[in-house]
Chains A and B, each alone.
Chain A
Amino acid sequence: MGRILNLRIFRGNAADGGLADVAVEAMEGEVILDVIHRVQAEQMNDLAVRWNCKAGKCGSCSMEINGKPRLACMTRVASFEDGETITITPLRAFPVIKDLVTDVSFNYKKAMEVRAYEHPVDLKPGDARMQQIDVERSQEFRKCIECFLCQDTCHVIRDHEENKKSFAGPRFFIRLAELDMHPLDTVRNRKQSAQAEHGLGMCNITKCCTEVCPEHIRITDNAIIPMKERVVDVKYDPLRWLGSVIRKRDGIL
């Protein structure tokens, strides 16, 4: 049977806004996105919220629930205490457009800055041979649904607008790691570019991104730390440094 939930939802835009209190019925088995939709249908027809699949696969309904970056479709009502007031606000790291919808164009700009995959020129379609174990490393990062919760929670940019210019964020560190570990990508120096162009060095591995990832991608352990270690390796090992300069390519494969 239904229970009454007390919600505090952000209403407003970049110029003006505040938290609005609303009580809404929640049914058995529902998630926060369901009750937001009920509020929208019955009480606030113009409440802005992004969503698509309602199955944790598209990464559209990212928001902050009691201050934590979450997918509303994967947050069950049953996980909150009876009588608890649930506060629902837009992602803090990005500018508000309206209500729960934010301007996430920062992420699409950063995506443009990562040099694309380049296939070996002499490898014809259908001729690629790769072992499962070798593709799995990159596949972990390709699970990313681009919900941008990791970007939202990352303290390098969460309250530091000034860092956005030089910092790509965890989502794009895993993109770089994915390409770095891709068995066929011919672009060299992915790691060095992560450090020099995308701000890898600004990350101090607090693992906040890993904690919020709804796909459970081990962003810090499997992408960021290995890239950092190998960047350091090349930089401080004189032989490897020399090797990388002479061969004009990545020191480690």
Chain B
Amino acid sequence: MSTSLGRYNYDVVVIGAGGAGLRAAVEAREAGLSVAIICKSLFGKAHTVMAEGGVSASMGNVNSDDNWMVHFRDTMRGGKFLNHFRMAELHAKEAPDRVWELETWGALFDRTKDGKISQRNFGGHEYPRLAHVGDRTGLELIRTMQQRIVAMQQKDARDHGDAEKFIRVFAELTITEILKDNEKVSGVYGYWRETGEEVLFTAPAVIVATGGIGKTFKITSNSWEGTGDGHALVLKAGGRLKDMEFIQFHPTGMVWPPSVRGLLVTESVRGDGGVLTNSDGVRFMFNYIPDVFKDKYADNEAEADRWYTDQTNNRRPPELLPRDEVARAINSEVKAGRGTEHGGVFLDVSKRLPADVIKKKLPSMWHQFYELAGVDITKEAMEVGPTCHYVMGGVDVDPDTAAAIGVPGLFAAGEVAAGMHGSNRLGGNSLSDLLVFGRRAGIGAAEYVKSSGKNPVSDASIKRAQEKVAKPFTQAGGENPYTLHHELQELTQSLVGIIRTKVELEEALKKIAELRNRIAKVSVAGGREFNPGFHLSFDLDNMLLVAESTALAGLTREESRGGHTRDDFPTMNPVWRQSNLICTFDGTKVGVEKIPLPVMRKDLFELFDIHELEKYMTPEEIAMGGIN
């Protein structure tokens, strides 16, 4: 057991230093609170840097017809109307302010001819809406907020003589537990990755901003950090996870070479003119336009191609359908034997744009294919296929304050939170989500702290947390964490993947239960000092809880919608749309229950064409027409 427990006191602890965490930290500090930012990696390496396409905000810089109502409609449509309407509303209304605010902190977005922030087309967005910096928009967001935090620290140094007096970044630190005393949050417990020494943070409010769960799957675009830590921490702290069956498989991940399988190929390739073809050379997406989208997407090549230059008089190319549709289409083509040599389809931009334009608009993509696959995308087609990219499900939160339902003092924002994207997220809505709700979580936590006051951590809570950290070293003869991780990934990939069935999901749950027993006995070689095997032993437990939640919710939801496709229930069911699934954890296994989806407000209901809503809702809901 650690002899010298590091102890820190803060008003707010933010777990995660990606876009949502940093935005929350900035807001909480501006509200006058002291803030600790905790990241598993070095500062500035968060998965947000991988976001390529852009940040969606209806600024209307490229097409002045755009506004928050159009953005709201697109978001609800993309999520198949399972979104929490209030989150989609707040997001659409506040996104432009959040983007402009970044500019006041030094961000440099690409420009339109008249000097405004440029906006690009993306799947599911009616107008050009994504503010961008080439194809490295996420990096720009992270750097801007990282530098904003440095600016705040410089100010604290000038005003108070200590740069880290009110806001400090704790890099390479893993949180193992959210502590509760008196039925509310009292702090967090963890260890420094560098030394293995343990750390206690006392804080009445904790903001979880830990991102995604991709590493639960074998083929993923996520970095090693996407191990569902926040999802699991919240479950264990008595919080609820919502919509965990909805996982987005991005349609275009690299499929070759094997070492980069899953690595993302940005949607901008399609937004800028790239087309998908199968091994017969057929542009197959025209065969996969669902009825609900028939009036918005072109059913012939001529019209689709005209759209790039005239968006008013033509329907969009079907390559720009929401991600779930494109991923399923690619999956079907490959299964039907029309895939490429390495099990993908072709994505070609080389015949559509001049080489210099490709290099200018898609510099990282050119670089990525040239250096990692030996493919020059200005001359050849890319091979692409679906990759686990994003989890729509997560912590069940209050839309306005980002407070986690059921755990006073706990907040969540960004990918780890649920509700905003419904059953499927639109590209570009992630970066705007983390800005809008990161800020709201910061405000929510600040208001909570001001009214609740301190909540000291009890010795009993500390003792429990300490025993857990010591455990992997005290049990000899258990299995190697790398092997167990590999098995978990194989299991989820084959049984809880892009197409699911009852039989497979039941088998998955049985295997997960077996894995739980083995993971409980995992043993770790070596010491505590920067030991990746030790680190993975904690991540494993988190990924297991995520996999169990996804399998259980997936088994329960007997329909196909967005990021959840059941081979045995292949269509959307309007009755199922009226429910969310909630997962909780009793300490030994995950449970699931159905709760009603909040009914949309009348004024928002009326933003839609009634005939569109009829495709998603029951006649009773249509007759009711929303509530006041």
Contacts and interface: CB of A to CB of B under 8 A. Distances in A.
A106 to B, nearest CB: 12
Contacts of B482: 40-42, 45
B105 A29 contact: no
Contacts of A46: 524-527, 531-534
A111 interface: yes
A135 interface: yes
Interface string A122-149: 0101101111100100110011111000
Given A46-B525, A55-B50, A119-B104, A130 B372 contact: no
B96 interface: yes
Contacts of B406: none
Contacts of B50: 53, 55, 57-58
B42 A60 contact: yes
Given A60-B41, A104-B42, A146-B44, A54 B263 contact: yes
B8 interface: no
A185 B486 CA distance: 49
Contacts of A205: none
Interface in A92-133: 97-99, 101, 104, 108, 111-112, 115-117, 119, 123, 125-126, 128-132
A13 B143 CA distance: 31
Given A58-B45, A129-B116, A135 B154 contact: no
A30 B97 CA distance: 43
A64 B214 CA distance: 29
A20 to B, nearest CB: 14
Nearest to B140: A142
Interface stretch (B233-241, B254-262, B583-591): B254-262
B56 interface: no
Interface in B89-136: 96-97, 100-101, 103-106, 108-111, 114-116, 118, 133-134, 136
A30 B372 CA distance: 9
A182 interface: yes
A57 B116 contact: no
Nearest to B195: A97
A47 B540 CA distance: 18
Given A132-B110, A135-B110, A145-B139, A29 B373 contact: yes
A56 B529 contact: no
Contacts of A232: none
Contacts of A115: 154
Contacts of A74: 371-372
Contact of A60 (B45, B143, B263, B529): B45
A104 B49 CA distance: 19
Nearest to A185: B106
B616 to A, nearest CB: 34
A52 interface: yes
A170 interface: no
Given A41-B482, A146-B44, A54 B223 contact: yes
Interface in B519-554: 524-527, 529-534
Given A29-B260, A57-B364, A125-B103, A139 B223 contact: no
B533 to A, nearest CB: 4
Interface size, B (range): 35 or more
B47 interface: yes
Given A111-B150, A115-B154, A135-B108, A57 B139 contact: yes
Contact of A53 (B47, B103, B147): B47
A51 interface: yes
A51 B536 CA distance: 14
A98 B45 CA distance: 20
Contacts of A28: 257-258
A169 interface: no
Contacts of A225: none
A138 B106 CA distance: 11
B154 A116 contact: yes
B154 A45 contact: no
Given A52-B225, A60-B41, A139-B133, A29 B115 contact: no
B224 interface: yes
B618 interface: no
A42 B527 CA distance: 17
A28 B264 CA distance: 20
B64 to A, nearest CB: 14
Which of A49, A123, A143 has the largest count of B CB atoms less than 10 A from its CB? Answer: A143
B515 interface: no
B524 A45 contact: yes
Contacts of A97: 194, 529-530
Contacts of B116: 129
Interface string B43-60: 111010110000000010
Interface of A: 13, 27-31, 34, 40-42, 45-60, 74, 76, 97-99, 101, 104, 108, 111-112, 115-117, 119, 123, 125-126, 128-132, 135, 138-139, 142-146, 179, 182, 184-185
22 contacts: A28-B257, A29-B256, A31-B372, A41-B483, A45-B482, A51-B223, A52-B225, A53-B223, A55-B263, A55-B372, A56-B368, A57-B364, A97-B194, A112-B154, A116-B150, A117-B147, A117-B151, A119-B106, A131-B115, A132-B110, A143-B136, A145-B139
Interface of B: 41-45, 47, 49-50, 59, 96-97, 100-101, 103-106, 108-111, 114-116, 118, 133-134, 136, 139-140, 143, 147-148, 150-151, 153-154, 163, 194, 223-225, 256-260, 263-264, 364, 367-368, 371-373, 480-483, 486, 524-527, 529-534
Can you list the 5 inter-chain pairs with the closest CB atoms, starting with the nearest? A29-B257, A46-B526, A129-B115, A117-B106, A116-B151
Given A119-B105, A182-B108, 18 more contacts: A29-B256, A52-B47, A54-B263, A58-B49, A60-B41, A97-B530, A98-B194, A98-B529, A99-B530, A108-B43, A115-B154, A125-B103, A131-B111, A135-B110, A135-B111, A139-B108, A143-B136, A145-B139
